[in-house]
A and B are shown apart, each in its own frame.
Chain A
């Protein structure tokens, strides 16, 4: 007890920290980068104020020559000009509506154009819960919504629909209801209606490559539930595709690499025969063979698995050989003294002797295999998670990109942690300390709550706290 009271230094040269402290540090190693991200994403004053659109328009002019969709971010001054463009157009339409005459330039008489005008209310209606995501082209429901808002039957929060737009809704409805209280494509007006003025909440105008954690997690959630308006289907099947590529590549690399490595580690003959070439080959970057692989194996999954294989197999051979060589030669001598044959040596001495170290090697290799995923999936027909990363990156939708990258990182990390936790169960004789970082954190938490299940012996200091 007395030694415990003395404050131990956090910086002991080559001394292990107790698990309480290592737990804190492990948690910090995740929290610090996250806090840095939050700092840059949320701190006011770092970036200019911008508007994230929730009502947009199909109008274009010289300055806004492309479509801005909901969620696009526009700098405050440009946003003002953008709104003005629509106001100017509305003024022209209003003159036309009241006094007739020639159609203003670029205005068409079509029910399609008007349908698109009334649909601009849909995204806002989703945020207020009036409509759901899938109703973006549901003319009947949207028409009904216009009616209810115009007639004051909806409680409209002002931050959702500006007074200006409310006025436009009423003016348009006055024209729309001539065609009936319920949507009818035949009587829906063709003469131009007024456009809703673009609107969007003021927010921190982060550059597109720096979405906030909130945006990334929301997009990630949408991706997984198949609700994203930009990525077709749910992420699940792509995720499985990617996992299959990685694991198949890894598996084949193991099937080829482990036996060769084992032989090379056991018999110098094979070491001299294989290792020099493998050592040479591993310096050739695997992606350099991409075109060749597509040429040989087509453009779907096969060349992708082959790339993961090529990128992993050399390490598999060399690591296995090295691990095999580290087996205590005393064991081999003893076995030979007892008359073991060569095959017995390999199967009954070498393999059981190194299996726990080999397991660790495979863990590292699996991590290695994951690093090839993105390059592999870009080959031939883009597929899996990478297609999302690639396409969305080009469209500057970095919130989606980061969500997918995080998913890949998380998958690799969690798999590795699970494998690490399994190690003491699979190889109890070789376990020194269970688990990696996550194990430590969970252990730390369970200790905090007094349920002491994990590795009691490793934490005598914390153990005795209640008694002290």
Chain B
């Protein structure tokens, strides 16, 4: 009898643990990937300062390589992932991911870098260029070529992970690379005489960096994502306050393992958007001043260069409502 009681109690315990863990699934933290782009490292400020706990949202920020994070996201392992508006169209998910937040636009940190002796894009005709095919550096290079009356056929692309481009340029296996900071800075430093011949500053608005989330997660946990948006603008306010600059630099530089002095120029190359600067970009319009226009240009590029066959319904990838709602709430 005693034994049966014991067993029964054990069974009860086991089932209650199971039940608890099943309940726990619902309250699981939002799994969000971020990578070394200077527009996304600022999340580190919120993480370090405990602003997510303060806002009452549980998050699991996962630090990854950019392309690694896209893969993990496409494999369904994440609720949210930071990517450029162009890349969101490219990655292989069956349903459109939804952009709920525009972090920044690239303002020079994405660089097309050629080694000594190649002064401009035109001089690279017939040369090898190391870049990560199908992703944002590819887009920038195509744009650079087009601005110079050239096309993809004029260069030979060598598929290279972005974080390894400095090494590849240094070995001399390619004449040019395309990468973003901090990799682009490393390349400029380690390959004396190398120079940025075209950067995202030459086409501001071509690359918007955003937080994309899965449609399921947005539907089920919109309130939580709303809190994430709120935390982001707290981070932006903190960053834009001149008095905090040393603290900001220390946190951000630490995240990507450079010194604050090395990091400081990154701030200009990635234009972090304040709320009132982001709102006009969310308006539907032609051209690079709107994320819609920018995404359309990426879409056209992708179709033209056969990254994918059919044009995508890019507007279904964009959801301005959370930012708008937040703006309304702080008015």
Interface residues of B in 253-280 (CB under 8 A from A): 254-262, 264-265
CB contacts (< 8 Å) of B185 on chain A: these are 66-67
Looking at A229, A298, A395, which has the most chain B CB atoms within 10 Å of its CB? A395
Looking at B64, B76, B245, B259, which has the most chain A CB atoms within 10 Å of its CB? B259
B147 within 8 A of A: no
**Contact between B261 and A116, CB atoms less than 8 A apart:** yes
**Contact between A62 and B195, CB atoms less than 8 A apart:** yes
**Contact between B190 and A294, CB atoms less than 8 A apart:** no
B153 within 8 A of A: no
With A60-B265, A68-B189 in contact, do A230 and B77 touch (Cβ < 8 Å)?
no
CB contacts (< 8 Å) of B64 on chain A: these are 299, 380-382
Give the distance in Å from the alpha carbon of A298 to the alpha carbon of B256 in the complex. 23
**Contact between A299 and B62, CB atoms less than 8 A apart:** yes
Give the distance in Å from the alpha carbon of A136 to the alpha carbon of B249 in the complex. 12
**Contact between B62 and A66, CB atoms less than 8 A apart:** no
CB contacts (< 8 Å) of B315 on chain A: these are none
Nearest chain A CB to B60 CB, angstrom units: 8
A442 within 8 A of B: no
Give the distance in Å from the alpha carbon of A295 to the alpha carbon of B166 in the complex. 30
**At the interface, is chain A mostly helix, strand, loop or mixed?**
loop
Which of B63, B166, B193, B196 contacts A396, CB < 8 Å?
A: B166
CB contacts (< 8 Å) of B188 on chain A: these are 65-66
CB contacts (< 8 Å) of A295 on chain B: these are 75-77
**Contact between A392 and B190, CB atoms less than 8 A apart:** no
Q: How many residues of B contact A (CB 8 A)?
A: 39
**Contact between B77 and A294, CB atoms less than 8 A apart:** yes
**Contact between A298 and B77, CB atoms less than 8 A apart:** yes
Nearest chain B CB to A149 CB, angstrom units: 21
A237 within 8 A of B: no
Which residues from chain B sit less than 8 Å from chain A, CB to CB?
A: 62-65, 71-72, 75-77, 163-164, 166-167, 182-183, 185-186, 188-190, 192-193, 195-196, 242, 245-246, 250, 254-262, 264-265
**Contact between A396 and B186, CB atoms less than 8 A apart:** yes
**Contact between A391 and B62, CB atoms less than 8 A apart:** no
CB contacts (< 8 Å) of A294 on chain B: these are 72, 75, 77
Q: How many residues of A contact B (CB 8 A)?
A: 38
CB contacts (< 8 Å) of B77 on chain A: these are 294-295, 298-299
Q: Mark A366-395, 1 if CB is under 8 A from B, else 0.
A: 000000000000001110000000011011
Nearest chain B CB to A184 CB, angstrom units: 15
A215 within 8 A of B: no
CB contacts (< 8 Å) of A112 on chain B: these are 242, 245
- Beyond the given A62-B195, A65-B195, could you list 17 further A-B residue pairs with CB under 8 A, ordered by the A residue number? A58-B261, A58-B265, A60-B265, A63-B193, A67-B189, A67-B264, A69-B261, A137-B260, A230-B259, A291-B71, A295-B75, A295-B77, A300-B62, A391-B256, A391-B257, A394-B164, A394-B167
List 25 A-B pairs, Cβ < 8 Å. A62-B195, A65-B188, A66-B185, A66-B188, A66-B262, A67-B185, A67-B265, A69-B261, A72-B189, A112-B242, A112-B245, A137-B260, A208-B190, A230-B258, A230-B259, A232-B254, A232-B257, A294-B75, A299-B77, A380-B62, A381-B62, A394-B163, A394-B166, A395-B257, A396-B190
Nearest chain A CB to B28 CB, angstrom units: 11
A-B CB proximity, top 8 nearest = A66-B188, A66-B185, A232-B254, A137-B246, A67-B262, A381-B62, A391-B257, A66-B189
CB contacts (< 8 Å) of B76 on chain A: these are 295
**Contact between B259 and A394, CB atoms less than 8 A apart:** no
A92 within 8 A of B: no
Nearest chain B CB to A231 CB, angstrom units: 6
Nearest chain B CB to A58 CB, angstrom units: 6
Q: How many A-B residue pairs have CB under 8 A?
A: 88
**Contact between A380 and B72, CB atoms less than 8 A apart:** yes
**Contact between A395 and B186, CB atoms less than 8 A apart:** yes
Give the distance in Å from the alpha carbon of A208 to the alpha carbon of B191 in the complex. 12
**Contact between B189 and A394, CB atoms less than 8 A apart:** no
A78 within 8 A of B: yes
Closest B residue to A396 by beta carbon equals B190
CB contacts (< 8 Å) of A66 on chain B: these are 185-186, 188-189, 262, 265
With A295-B75, A394-B183 in contact, do A78 and B192 touch (Cβ < 8 Å)?
yes
**Contact between B257 and A231, CB atoms less than 8 A apart:** yes
CB contacts (< 8 Å) of A70 on chain B: these are 259
Q: Mark A382-424, 1 if CB is under 8 A from B, else 0.
A: 1000000001101111000000000000000000000000000
Closest B residue to A111 by beta carbon equals B242
A275 within 8 A of B: no
CB contacts (< 8 Å) of B264 on chain A: these are 58, 67, 116
A241 within 8 A of B: no
A75 within 8 A of B: yes
Closest B residue to A72 by beta carbon equals B189
Closest B residue to A394 by beta carbon equals B163
Give the distance in Å from the alpha carbon of A395 to the alpha carbon of B255 in the complex. 13
CB contacts (< 8 Å) of B258 on chain A: these are 69, 230, 395
Give the distance in Å from the alpha carbon of A64 to the alpha carbon of B302 in the complex. 35
Give the distance in Å from the alpha carbon of A60 to the alpha carbon of B62 in the complex. 34
CB contacts (< 8 Å) of B193 on chain A: these are 63
CB contacts (< 8 Å) of B163 on chain A: these are 394
Give the distance in Å from the alpha carbon of A300 to the alpha carbon of B193 in the complex. 41
Looking at B77, B182, B250, which has the most chain A CB atoms within 10 Å of its CB? B77
CB contacts (< 8 Å) of B190 on chain A: these are 208, 396
With A232-B254, A299-B72, A396-B186 in contact, do A67 and B261 touch (Cβ < 8 Å)?
yes
Q: Mark A334-368, 1 if CB is under 8 A from B, else 0.
A: 00000000000000000000000000000000000
Q: Mark A107-120, 1 if CB is under 8 A from B, else 0.
A: 00000100010000
CB contacts (< 8 Å) of A232 on chain B: these are 254-255, 257
CB contacts (< 8 Å) of B167 on chain A: these are 394
**Contact between B261 and A382, CB atoms less than 8 A apart:** no
